[in-house]
Amino acid sequence: MQKMIEVKHLTKYYKDFKAIDDLSFFVKEGEILGLLGPNGSGKSTTINCLLSLLHFKNGSIQILGREMKPESYDIKKQIGVVFQEVAVFEELNVYENIDYFCGLYIEDEETRKKYVEEAISLVGLERYRKFYPKQLSGGLLRRLNIACGIAHKPRLIFLDEPTVAVDPQSRNNILEGIEKLREKGATIVYTTHYMEEVEILCDRIIILDKGHIIAEGTATELKEHANIEEKITVEGLKLTKDQFENIRNLKNVDKVRFVENVLTITYKSGQNNISVLIEFLRNHNITYQSIFSERPTLNDVFLNLTGKELRD
């Protein structure tokens, strides 16, 4: 399978600050790669280097098998970019906006008309083609933003937080549209703070922190790499400092967090962990609203690997 992106030893400085540290990775044709990391991890800098929007000190970037440069317009024609900030023209309606951006790449009028209609259908804006941006909800506006970025049928697409702050209907519509893009053969680099989207969409995941890769693989592989056996959550309780420390020292406990009356414990091994915890709470007259055990999520893995919440 062809490598759509190949990055080798990429290093980027902002004066004395090393934003990207000897970064190497690839993206295969037809896959969706999740590029994750806490704020300041280097995701945006990496993407801007890939798009030749930033100069970098060392390393190489190849896209579609060729070196990517600022003047590589033949390569850029095959790339679609949807940034988190919505970028459309307020004075143009939905159809006109998509037609304008598509026209930057597609000169033939009939072909462009066909592509615009397909983009409108892909994001579910058929009823809104004559609406202006100020008439659209936040979710519909994000759908328009996506349509403008992918209408020219690029082979490689960068999607940066495409579902942030949208309603559930728009979110589902966007995720369905991304699946359709994959089915049509597009390769996608996807950044998001929503781990459930990553598990649904992404074939492979790269987690960045401080400008370098700290973990890479499928969601299943990352969970195995983090070596978290069980997660127990207790809601609606109050703990003293001594009680918290005693829980930390229970058998098989790996990590403990207590935030806003919610206790979260991760275990790397052991059986009957929840029974032991319930007994401890009962013996110390600690009341709670609910307690449940579950397998670790990708968000748990991220916290385990980076020590941070994804939105930190």
d(CA 308, CA 312): 6
Residues 6+ apart with CB under 8 A from 96: 89
Residues 6+ apart with CB under 8 A from 210: 21, 41, 42
pLDDT per residue as tens digits for the range 262-293: 999 999 877 789 999 999 999 999 999 999 99
Report, as an integer, the average pLDDT of 54-58: 92
pLDDT per residue as tens digits for the range 133-159: 999 999 999 999 999 999 999 999 999
| Residue 186 near residue 156, CB atoms below 8 Å | yes
Structure tokens at 218: 């499928």
Position 312 confidence tier, pLDDT thresholds 50, 70, 90: very low
pLDDT per residue as tens digits for the range 190-219: 999 888 899 899 999 999 999 999 999 999
Domains of the chain from N-terminus onward: 3-223 (3.40.50.300), 229-295 (3.30.70.980)
Predicted confidence at residue 110, as pLDDT, reads: 97
